[in-house]
Amino acid sequence: MHGSVVNLHSILNRIDVAAREAGQQAGKTRLVAVTKTFGADEILPVLETGQRIFGENRVQEAQSKWPGLRQRFPDIELHLIGPLQSNKTAEAVALFDVIETVDREKIASALAAEMRKQARHPTLLVQVNTGDEPQKAGISPKDAVAFVETCRTRHGLEISGLMCIPPADENPGPHFALLAKLAAQAGLDILSMGMSGDFEIATALGATHVRVGSAIFGTR
Ligand SMILES: *Cc1c(COP(=O)(O)O)cnc(C)c1O
């Protein structure tokens, strides 16, 4: 079996165990396999074993590999997990099923216009900068609930959940717990949190989606 397929099954199993041990509902946490920097040859074995949810962090890179793969596997669910520039919103709306990184009004407004124009409605998540790190994308936790409301009322955008990337040098648990609390306050169901190093903690804290790259495909 291909190494990435072995890794994938091991991660799916670890998600199940973490959910069970934490008393989370079985099957609540979905795996987003993060394929940035990896080509179709490396992605294919994972597709062939049944994985269907994938994440990419750059619009252009995703455009170069996913339309071809999607012809063969039409039921793929593709997530944008990297920052979105307003000049890329047309491409993003056309390609992605879930856009996880809405974090400012300029993007909300550009997405709303583009979604009307294309009559396509990707699921939208707001990225929260839970550590208030200056170099990191995402809205500050103190503004997150109000921003979700602004997206709804001012831009007519339905927001379905929240996403975060905790500071690299901190215990991620409190950041995941904060994200879950904000989602509950805003009445949102989807929680995208946890990566290769901490997806079990995120699962235990109620993640609906964990985004795992290197633990499946190897180091980039
Ligand atoms: C690359 C990336 C991941 C996956 O990271 P790994 O540590 O390789 O699992 C998850 N989320 C985002 C936003 C990423 O850019």
pLDDT at 192: 99
To test ligand 1's pocket by mutation, which of 195, 196, 201 has the most ligand atoms within 8 angstroms of CB? 195
Distance 53 CA to ligand 1 centre (A): 14
Nearest to 128 by CA among 155, 166, 86: 166
Give the pairing of strands 190-192 and 98-102. Answer: unpaired
Residue-wise pLDDT tens digits, 110-142: 999 999 999 999 999 999 999 999 999 999 999
pLDDT for res 65: 96
Q: What is the mean pLDDT of residues 44-61?
A: 98
Q: Is the pTM of this model over 0.85?
A: yes
| Ligand 1 pocket residue status of 136, Cβ below 6 Å | no
Enumerate residues 6+ apart whose C-beta is below 8 A from 152: 158, 159
Number of alpha helices (DSSP H) and beta strands (DSSP E) in the chain: 9, 8
